[in-house]
Amino acid sequence: MLKPLIFTDLDGTLLNHHTYEYEVVKPVIERLKAQGIQVILNSSKTLSELAIWQQRLAVTAPIIAENGGVIQFKWDENRRYLLGTPYADIRSFIKHLRKANDWKFEGFGDWTVAEVMNHTGLKSADAVRAKEREVTEPILWQDSEENFKAFEKALEKEDLILKKGGRFHHVMGQHDKADAMRYLTELYAHEDQLPQTLALGDGGNDLAMLQAADIAVVMPPAKGQTLQIDGAYYAQAEAPWGWVEAVNHFYPEESLPSLLTGLNN
Ligand SMILES: [Mg+2]
């Protein structure tokens, strides 16, 4: 029988938004692994940032970075699958637009590590990892609203979009966390049967992923509105405790003995 796949956002879903607490999740991930259930990190962070979390959480599944734009396969460190537009192409296009129109904006690619630290509040090593980008460029717009609309139009012609994040606007291709989830789910398919998918998230960039999953788990957001999804499971506790609560609800520990019995027979 095909084992389910768990796709999870990180910030505010598996990690506490304020304290970054995550320890209670580790034994659950261990137990799921023993049951053959993979936990796939699906975040807006870069691959370099996620590599740290992959180690801390001891997950062995592929990881999805930059809002579904790139997948890293754990079993082949050199194999990356890009669903998004390569970073160098995004940079050269927006630099061209800036020069041709005399627009004022800056992005991660314009900044030194120290400047990224200033703009994000990240520590030095984390700022280095945040600069190692594959498919999305966070920018600060410093020009008029009117020019912003013209910028958005010009990007559209190159199949690029602007996605609003907490601090920045992200210039990226038309990809989403849901696209990468679908791609991986099909990779794990067996004889035309797709594995069951459970997705957990708390923010607007998780919406499509949660709608596309067989089971959606909505986490209470640290700030702003709770996502509204038909038929979703709403975790009561904040991250990471709500994550544990929801995963134990759908894939309880009790199913382990019967599974092992099944293997022995
Ligand atoms: Mg989040």
Give the model confidence (pLDDT) of 164-203 as tens digits: 877 899 999 999 999 999 999 999 999 989 999 999 999 9
**Do residue 71 and residue 180 come from a single domain?**
yes
**Do residue 77 and residue 184 come from a single domain?**
yes
Q: How far is the CA of 240 from the centre of ligand 1 (A)?
A: 12
Q: How many domains, the chain?
A: 2
**Do residue 76 and residue 180 come from a single domain?**
yes
- Dist CA 177 CA 86 (whole Å): 17
β-pair partners for 5: 38, 197
Q: Which domain holds residue 128?
A: 87-173
pTM value? 0.89
**Do residue 238 and residue 124 come from a single domain?**
no
Return the structure tokens found at 234: 């709403």
Q: How far is the CA of 167 from the centre of ligand 1 (A)?
A: 14
Q: Please give all residues whose CB falls under 5 A of ion ligand 1, grouped by chain where several chains appear.
A: 9, 11-12, 202-203
Angle at 49 (CA atoms; ends 25, 171), nearest 5 degrees: 120
Return the structure tokens found at 199: 């997705």
**Do residue 200 and residue 260 come from a single domain?**
yes
| Segment 111-164, tens digit of pLDDT | 999 999 999 889 999 999 999 999 999 999 999 999 999 999 999 999 999 988
| Segment 43-87, tens digit of pLDDT | 999 999 999 999 999 999 999 999 999 999 876 667 889 999 999
**Do residue 167 and residue 102 come from a single domain?**
yes
**Do residue 135 and residue 255 come from a single domain?**
no
Q: What is the mean pLDDT of the chain?
A: 93
How far is residue 249 from each of residues 8, 151, 199, 238, measured CA to CA in Å?
A: 16, 46, 13, 15
**Do residue 259 and residue 181 come from a single domain?**
yes
Out of 9, 176, 179, 206, the active site residue is 9
Residues 6+ apart with CB under 8 A from 252: none
What CATH number has the domain bearing residue 111?
A: 3.30.980.20
Query: Is residue 9 annotated as a catalytic residue, yes or no?
Result: yes
Q: Region 74-103: what's the mean pLDDT?
A: 92
- Dist CA 192 CA 207 (whole Å): 26
